[in-house]
Amino acid sequence: MSATDNGSGDLPILPSTDFNSFFHLPFAIYHLPFRFMRRAIYPGSFDPVTNGHLDIIERGCKLFDEIIVAILVNPEKQPFFTIEERRETLNHVLKDIDRGGCAVRVDNFQGLLVHYAVAQKADAIVRGIRAISDYEYELQMALMNRRLEPSIETVFMMPAEMYSYVSSRLVKEVFQLGGELEGLVPPLVETRMKQKYQGKLT
Ligand code: PNS
C-alpha cells in the first residue's frame, strides 16, 4: 500500500500537507489545473444558431472547461448568413447562456475537423443528437474522425426534448415561408434573419 493509498480501492487521498511539503511532492501538483483543463470543439454550420445549439453548449459547459464553437467554412455551400455574421450573432447570444465556469469562444475553421481539433489542443468533439435519424450520420462521422485522429473523443449530447425537432434547415424554411420562430432561435437571430431578408444586412 503506498503512502497515498487508503487500501479501499478508492482514488488515493493526498496526505494533508503544510505549505512547504506541498512544493516537495514528487510531481508538480501545481501544474495539474492546466493539465486537466478539458477543451472541446463544438463544430457546425450554425446557419443560423438555434436554441438547440445553445442548449447543447450549456450542457457541454457542465463537462468541459472550455468550448470552442467552431463554424465550418464550406466554400461549396451557399449559406444564409456569412461566416462573419454567424460569428457576430454567436458572440452576442452566447453572452446570455448559463456557462458556469466554462470559457466559450467562437472561431471558424476549414478542412478536416480533426486537424483543427488537434491544432486547438482539444480533447473532444461535442455533437448534439436529437433523434435516431441523427445517430447514423453522427456515428459515421465520429468513427471516421476517430480513425483519422484516435486521440480525440466524440461526445454525443442530447438537447432538451423541446428542441428535439429544431434544426437550422427547418428554421430557415419556416422563416422563408412566413412561420413563427419564437422559442426556436434567440430573438436576435430572428431579427437578423428579417434584416437579411429585407436586404438590410449585407
Ligand atoms: O452543423 P453541421 O452542418 O451538421 O456540421 C457538420 C460538421 C461541420 C461537423 C461536419 O461537416 C464537419 O466536421 N466538416 C469538416 C470536414 C471534415 O472533417 N469532414 C470529415 C468528417 S468525418
Neighbours of 75 (CB within 10 A): 6
CA 109 to chain centre: 14
The pLDDT value recorded for residue 179 is 96
pLDDT surpasses 80 at 77: yes
Q: Which of 201, 171, 202, 169 is nearest to 186 (CA)?
A: 171
pLDDT surpasses 70 at 140: yes
In this predicted model, which residue has the larger pLDDT, 93 or 10? 93
- Nearest Cα residue to atom 16 of ligand 1: 112
Q: Using a 6 Å cutoff on CB, does residue 112 contact ligand 1?
A: yes
Cell of 201: 444586412
- Let me know: does 102 contact 67? Beta carbons within 8 Å: yes
Q: Using a 6 Å cutoff on CB, does residue 141 contact ligand 1?
A: yes
130 is catalytic: yes
Cell of 132: 435516431
172 is catalytic: no
CA distance 116 to 131: 27
Distances (CA, A) of 54 to 20, 29, 46, 96, 185: 45, 35, 10, 10, 9
What pLDDT, in 10s, does the model give residues 158-179? Answer: 999 999 999 999 999 999 999 9
Distances (CA, A) of 34 to 31, 37, 41: 6, 5, 18
CA distance 197 to 193: 6
Q: Which of 49, 54, 73, 141 to mutate to test the pocket of ligand 1 (most atoms within 8 A of CB)?
A: 141
List Cβ neighbours of 27 (8 Å cut-off, separation of 6 or more).
none
CA distance 44 to 51: 14
What pLDDT, in 10s, does the model give residues 3-51? Answer: 444 445 555 545 445 555 555 555 555 555 555 799 999 999 999 999 9
Q: What is the pTM of this model?
A: 0.85
Look up residue 9 and give its DSSP letter.
Answer: S
